[in-house]
Amino acid sequence: MRKNGTVKPRVDHPWNLSQDAADQWRSDLAGQRDPRPARRAWSGTRRVAVVSVKDRTAGVVVCDWPSGRCRRRIRAKATRAAVYLPTAPTFLAAQTVEPALSALSDPPDILLVDEDTIRPGGFGLADHLGVRWGVPSVGVSSACAGEWDEPPPGLDGAHVFVKDGGVPAALAVRARAHRPPLFIAPGHRMDLLGALEVVLSLPLAPRAPWPRALALARSVAAKNKSRPGFLRRRKVL
């Protein structure tokens, strides 16, 4: 949504919340998450906003899709008033990202969100941002809670389902052969196959399993502007 030349959220909510109020808003937002994909063919997609939040600092990189060419980099910091809410942790991260997304002149077609850990069946930052801004979203991480088998090691794009209570809810994807897998999960207006197509279509960094745009967003968010190092995979149960 655009207003006065800037992008505005579609679902507004306050930030200065008590824990109980945040829990209620989290439940309301989760109820608005739409699991139906916005489109099956992604040919109309032109702009992907890649989001990463590290230590109360957000990096947003807007790039062309599927070339991955960077068009804009924005860095934003959380205000001192922003607080961490243990049972609704996405509010601090979403508030940190808010100034960066609000600075865009046009809404992105997709949000690609760097998550600390993919939690199948939960409500993550990709879900929160997707619902708030009304944009299809995908969560990506190097760690995941859930159950899965190792994807075949020697095949680019090899992937297996990550299950939550026996139900496929995320994917473990070996973006490059013989590299540790990424974990991806659909957010708002996205399904598993659409999320897989979006992530695999982005150019890959030469010596890391992350798409280049994700690595760039992480470096923008980090205090140290140097290229992010290799990410070790960890399994969270």
What are the pLDDT digits (tens) for 21-76? 999 999 999 999 999 887 655 566 688 999 999 989 999 999 887 777 889 999 99
Question: What pLDDT is stored for residue 231 in this prediction?
Answer: 35
- Hey, CA dihedral for 196, 199, 201, 203, is it positive or negative? negative
DSSP state of 187: -
What are the pLDDT digits (tens) for 178-202? 888 999 999 999 999 889 888 887 7
Residues 102-126 have a mean pLDDT of 93
What percent of the chain stands above pLDDT 70? 85
Determine the CATH number of domain 46-223. Answer: 3.30.2170.10
Question: What pLDDT is stored for residue 2 in this prediction?
Answer: 55
- When pLDDT is cut at 50, 70 and 90, the band that residue 236 belongs to is very low
Residue 5 falls in which region: left (phi positive, over 0), alpha (psi -120 to 50) or beta = left
pTM of the model: 0.87
- Rounded to the nearest integer, the mean pLDDT of the chain is 85
Question: What pLDDT is stored for residue 73 in this prediction?
Answer: 95
What are the pLDDT digits (tens) for 129-169? 999 999 999 999 999 999 999 999 998 889 999 999 899 99
Sequence ranges of the domains in the chain? 46-223
Q: Count, in order, helices (H) and strands (E) of the chain.
A: 5, 12
Smallest CA-to-CA distance from 29 within 16, 49, 15, 12 is with: 12
Rounded CA-CA distance 61/103 in Å is: 12
Question: What pLDDT is stored for residue 156 in this prediction?
Answer: 85
Rounded CA-CA distance 132/91 in Å is: 11
DSSP state of 43: G
Provide the edge-to-edge strand list for the sheet that holds 70-77: 70-77, 57-64, 47-54, 110-114, 137-141, 182-186, 167-174, 158-164
Q: Are 79 and 72 spatial neighbours (Cβ–Cβ below 8 Å)? A: no
For residue 33, the Cα-to-chain-centroid distance in whole angstroms is 14
- Please check the confidence at residue 227 and state whether its pLDDT lies above 60: no
